[in-house]
Amino acid sequence: MFAVKSARLVISNDGEELLELTVEPWADIHRIPPKGTCVVVTHSPAEEDAWGGTSYGDEPFEVEHRPDSVTVWANGHCFHLSDREGNLIEEGAYGGGCPARNPATRRRS
Ligand SMILES: [Zn+2]
């Protein structure tokens, strides 16, 4: 079984206006409606000590907040955006693809 690390970040819009969510470094923009919630998931191969997008340990995400928008940096190899029920909204990955879905392409010598 191919092991991957997985991290989930739940973002809820508790305001009255649309909240703009940007997932970096893919620059993927999604708008969360008032009272809406979405989940950002990122994966990294388990054999890597740190999350690839950061030089600090154990930081799968970084969040930058502005008055009407929020930017999430996903430090794994990919991101998956879904609602709380797990319905996929958007996803992206670096060249090697998502390590949770394409284990063959992640093999290293
Ligand atoms: Zn993934």
Lowest mean pLDDT among 2-11, 57-66, 89-98: 89-98
Lowest mean pLDDT among 39-48, 55-64, 96-105: 96-105
* pLDDT higher than threshold 90 for residue 2: no
If you measure from the C-alpha of residue 58 to the centroid of ligand 1, how many angstroms do you get, rounded to a whole number? 17
Q: What is the Cα–Cα distance from 23 to 15, expressed in whole angstroms?
A: 20
If you measure from the C-alpha of residue 52 to the centroid of ligand 1, how many angstroms do you get, rounded to a whole number? 13
Amino acid at 54: T
If one compares 52 and 108, the residue with the highest pLDDT of the two is 52
If you measure from the C-alpha of residue 45 to the centroid of ligand 1, how many angstroms do you get, rounded to a whole number? 10
pTM of the model: 0.86
Question: Which residues make Cβ contacts (< 8 Å) with residue 61, sequence separation at least 6?
Answer: 7, 9, 40, 42, 72, 73, 74, 75
What is the reported pLDDT for 95?
A: 75
Domain locations in the chain as residue ranges: 4-106
If you measure from the C-alpha of residue 102 to the centroid of ligand 1, how many angstroms do you get, rounded to a whole number? 9
Question: 8 to each of 41, 42, 79, how far by Cα in Å?
Answer: 4, 7, 10
Element (H, E) at 10: strand 4-12
